[in-house]
Every structure is written in C-alpha cells, then in structure tokens.
Structure 1
Amino acid sequence: MASSSSKIIKLELTALGSRPRSCPPEAQGAWNYLVGAHASVSGLFDTLHVLRLKSAEGSDPRGRLSHDQTDQLRAALVFSSSGLDACLRRLLRDALPVLVNGNNDAEGKFKAFVNEQLNGTKAPKHIRSALIDRGPRSRLIESYVDALTGSSLQQVSDLRKVRDALGIAPADIPNAVIEKLGPFFAARNEVAHELDLVEPSGRGTTTRRGRKMADVRDQCDEVLLQVREFVRHSAKLIRQC
C-alpha cells in the first residue's frame, strides 16, 4: 500500500530556461529580478510541500489545506505579483532610453506621451518638435519612465501599456494572452488588499477564501512566464537598435 506521503503532489513552476541570447545589459537587470522571483515562489511551494508531508503523517493527505498551508499559496501570489512589478519597472528604466532612440514604435509612443503632456499649452509646433525629436531629450525620457512606473503594475491594462512603450509588437505578445492574467491580478488583490477575508452574508464570523493549489500554481506560472516574454522581446529589440 502506498504511504500517505506518496500521494502528495509537489507544486512546481515551469523552468525559465536560459537567459535571452546575447542578453544586453539593459535587459540583464530585469532578467535577474525574474530569476529571483521564480526562485522565491518555488521556495514557497517547497515549504508548502514540507508542511503537507508533516501533516499527512498517519492521516489522509487529501483533506483540505490548513490555514498555514493556504497562506503559502497566498504568499506565492503576492511574490509573483511583486516579481512582475519589479521586473517590468527595471526593464522600463533600463531599456526605454535605448528603445526610444532606436525603435520606431517605442519612439512613437514616447512622442505621443510628450504631446499629450503639452496639450493645452501655447508651445508652438517648432518648440514641440525640438523637445521630442532626436537630440538632448534625456530628461523627457526620464519623465516618461516615471509616468509609466509611478504606480504598481497590477492590471491587465498596465501590461499593455508596458508592451507598447517598449515597442513590442502586439503580434508577439497579443492582448488576448495578457488578458488571461486577469484572474491572477484579481486573486493577488484579494490577498494583498483584503487579506483574503470574506464578509459573511448572515450571522457568523468572517472567513477567508479558499485557494486551490493547482489554480495558484498555474496563475503564478503564467505571470512569471509572461514576464519572461517581455524580457526576451525587449532584449531582441535592444540588439536591433
């Protein structure tokens, strides 16, 4: 007869694989953040597995997770979210100055941003052109980066903005793929902003949402792999510059 521990499945993330080919320094920092986030989430899954092994001694391991065990899943969601935020912020700060000056799509988004900031001003057309055309515009690029990273990147729309700003073609990272991360962001916000608490509809104590291991594993995996694609495509565009 199989032991209780043999019935316990360990959660594992998909391996990130090797870093982007000839990874430019402007993408290396973001890649390092991604590797660190992947390792942290994997560590939480390792801890969950140890907790389940200990609790399964002499009992059926197929029961509901304890509060401590479910907290490991909640932490994995938050760590994955923090990894996404840190990676993409670093990518924007390191890569945008190069891409704005060397990629037509990225430059177009930058010019649209500056023109939007100038709307309502009396600056004549030649002054606008002097500000946004090739030349000493590093301070404007810094403002552009600050505008993109001023708040947490925790929505599907935020990821679309980052993709477009970096000049990544929608064909390479489609909207439909980004929108699949919606359930992850919803779960992350329930944990980070509400502690996963659920107000009862009638009498009784406040309870916490349950989390399914397979769902959390898939959500964390999807978001980390998607960040990997942001880094890979950005690295390719930087090399082309």
Structure 2
Amino acid sequence: MSKLTRVELTDLPRKPVGGTEIQRAWARLTATHDAVAGLFTTLNELRAAQDDMRGAISEMHRDQARAAIVFTAAGIDACLRTLLRDALATLLRTDGPAHKAFIKHFRDNRLKELTEATKRAIVDIDPRSALIDLYVEDLTGSSIQGSKDLTRCRTALGLDKEPALDADILKSHQSFFDARHEVVHELDLIDPSGKGTRGRRHRDIALVGAQCDGALHLMRDFIAPTAKAIKQAQAEAVNQA
C-alpha cells in the first residue's frame, strides 16, 4: 500500500444561488480551483514516480507547491476584484451597509483632497461606475496582501456581520499571504538581501495544500452572502420605486 501523502483540494460547495452579479466571480474561483488542483495532481504524480516515495521532497516538488501559492493568490485577487466591481453597482442602490461604507471611504479619503483621478471620475459620463472603479482600486491595491485587505473588502460588501468572515477567521489566512509575498517578491530566499545564506525556504507541501484550500473556500464565503445581499438590495429597490 502506498505511503504517499497526497496533496489535494477539497471540492467547492455548490454555486450560490444568485444573479448575474456573482457569475464572473464564481467563474474565476472555479477556474482557479481547477488550475491549482491540476498543479497538486502533477505534484502527486511526480512524487509517486520517485524510486523511494518516503525520501526527501525535492526542490522541484516544492516548486510545484510554490506555483500553487501563486496561482491561488492570483485567483483570489481576480475573484475579489470582480465580485466588488459586479456587486457594488447593485448594492449601492440602497442605503445599506455597503452604501454607508462607500460614503465613509470617499469622505475620509478621496473627497478631502481631490486627485486628478477623482476629478475625472466625478465628471465621467457614468460617474457612479467610475467612482466604483476607483473604490475597488483603493480596496485591493496592486494585490490582496492579507487580512486587512480582506477586512476592507468585507466591509465594502456590507458583510461585517457574517460569522464566516469574522476578524479571527480572516487573520487566520495571513500566513498564506505571507507565503505568497515570500514566493513572489523574495523568490523564497531565506535572505533576500543577498547577505549571508541565500537558501530556499522550506515549504511543507501538506501545509501549502491546506492553505490554498482554505483560501479558495474563503472566497466562496465572500460570494455566497454577497448573493444574498444583492437579492435583498434588489427587493428594497423595487419597494422604493
């Protein structure tokens, strides 16, 4: 019987019931899940082909795990940006928590000192869409860096009261984002400054698998309550009409 410990993702739950606002975000999530699952399949096959599966895990195998971290992080960036852009247009039609967060952000930040980008958005032919684009840029930056960015996205979507997205849960994923930073920005070198030892960081592939799996399922925890919030916003908009 094989003693190989396989690294695998768990299946995503069923797609949340919702309108067009969550379709693209869900598609990006499932595409990322498929891609990362494929990387882990390749990793398992490479390890199974070793003469001694109980031997040390090679750097080639760890590089597969590093690639999984990068793919997962890129998918999270794409998923959250898309969810924000597609959902906010609907969520901001009513005076709910998402709208309050939107107003607070602009009053506390962009409206205190108008930048050229803000001025262009205000006079755009579709100012609300242009302001939402600026808002998403402010929330996500060049990429999602960790629990603080996740918290801002949660607040922007009006999901602060969601148990699956509470502060402790979001903070528990910080180690994944730290790993992404180390892999992408430091090439996983122990001493990226170039001084002293420059060996590669040890990557526990089972831990990497668990981190990637948890991060992808967290995106589902963003999408599902957003779908419910959208339905509520649409119903309120109809009642107010």
Give the corresponding residue for 1:17: 13
> For residue 183 of structure 2, what is the amino acid of its counterpart?
V
Give the CA deviation at 1:47: 0.4
Aligned with 1:215 (options 198, 207, 222): 207
- Alignment partner of 1:52 is 2:43: no
- Alignment partner of 1:228 is 2:220: yes
Q: 2:54 is paired with a residue of what secondary structure? A: coil
- Alignment partner of 1:166 is 2:144: no
In 2, the alpha carbon distance for the partners of 1:103 and 1:171 equals 19
Q: 1:151 is paired with a residue of what secondary structure? A: coil
Q: 2:6 is paired with a residue of what secondary structure? A: coil
Question: 1:96, 1:145 within 8 Å by CA — same for their partners in 2?
Answer: no
Distance change (3 Å), C-alpha of 1:103 and 1:14? farther
- Alignment partner of 1:148 is 2:139: yes
In 2, the alpha carbon distance for the partners of 1:70 and 1:139 equals 42
Give the CA deviation at 1:137: 3.8
Runs (4+) off by over 4 Å: none
Give the CA deviation at 1:210: 1.3
Give the CA deviation at 1:142: 3.4
Aligned with 1:119 (options 112, 121, 124): 112
Higher alpha-carbon Rg? 1
Render the CA deviation track for 1:55-113: whole Å, top value 9, x for unaligned. Answer: 1x3x3x12221111110011111111111101001101111111111351000011112
Distance change (3 Å), C-alpha of 1:73 and 1:95? same
Question: 1:81, 1:154 within 8 Å by CA — same for their partners in 2?
Answer: no
Question: 1:103, 1:167 within 8 Å by CA — same for their partners in 2?
Answer: no
- Alignment partner of 1:94 is 2:65: no
In 1, the alpha carbon distance for the partners of 2:42 and 2:95 equals 44
Question: 2:190, 2:197 within 8 Å by CA — same for their partners in 1?
Answer: no
Give the CA deviation at 1:12: 1.3
In 2, the alpha carbon distance for the partners of 1:71 and 1:142 equals 35
Unpaired runs of at least 5, structure 1: 122-130
Q: TM-score, normalised by structure 1?
A: 0.84
Give the corresponding residue for 1:195: 187
Count of aligned positions: 219
Q: 1:8 is paired with a residue of what secondary structure? A: coil
> For residue 63 of structure 1, what is the amino acid of its counterpart?
G
Distance change (3 Å), C-alpha of 1:204 and 1:141? closer
Distance change (3 Å), C-alpha of 1:120 and 1:185? closer
Note the aligned Cα RMSD (angstroms): 2.2
Distance change (3 Å), C-alpha of 1:140 and 1:107? same
In 1, the alpha carbon distance for the partners of 2:189 and 2:130 equals 44
In 1, the alpha carbon distance for the partners of 2:162 and 2:225 equals 11
In 1, the alpha carbon distance for the partners of 2:162 and 2:222 equals 13
> For residue 35 of structure 2, what is the amino acid of its counterpart?
S
Summarize the alignment of residues 30-69 of structure 1 with structure 2, pairs less than 5 Å apart: 30-55=25-50, 57=51, 59=52, 61-69=53-61
> For residue 132 of structure 2, what is the amino acid of its counterpart?
I
Q: TM-score, normalised by structure 2?
A: 0.84
Question: 1:103, 1:237 within 8 Å by CA — same for their partners in 2?
Answer: no
